[in-house]
Structure 1
């Protein structure tokens, strides 16, 4: 990330991530997250990881809700299997809420306990949860519209 980016979660001491899955999967997830947080696009070609930027585009503008859906699904697919069942509900809800907050979306809880929403304008991304906290579905749509 750029020097100007304030990313306290990435500035700490070296972490041992061996308990969280294969090193390659963790490395890719961290690289993708860092690129997304910095406002760039992550790409990989074989064992080469790239951040795609275009200086002609500003960092602000319309939030890509489909990209948010992809990010949340991707993060949940590897994280929820690694989280202990006793803390899964709290952890996965925190993951969705933190992602929405980092993206600048308003977090709405009107669908609790079934889902939470990240809202921008007239649109939202809903993250649906099973009773144990597992993320079962993520979808974009109109705010308070029919179930997605």
Structure 2
């Protein structure tokens, strides 16, 4: 397609006439929010994990003091329960979201994509459910 410009003509790029992907004006913003979640959860996980590693490995004699009694004392505090629960849930959701993206990128068949995502969601729910249960029902008075 040619258009005159000051007595001259030029060829318009075909991409202006037929863009590759139509622009969406609303609807599903799931991918945008998933992308934003990955950034926010990644930053928060860095803080939580580095804090966890520092407390576990560097303070008060390091790894030699880690035993059942240490965990029992730590999980007696709601603060540390929430800290560990946040790490567990953010790590699972962050990793699951990343794996969901990998499944979308590499699974060719819709049925394969569905079953892989189904297994991913089931495994995430099991790990988060079991971890949450352990954190909140941990009993330091185990009798053997």
TM-score bracket relative to the smaller structure? 0.3 to 0.5
Task: Choose between structure 1 and 2: higher strand proportion.
Answer: 1
TM-score w.r.t. the length of structure 2 is 0.33
Of structures 1 and 2, the larger Rg is shown by: 2
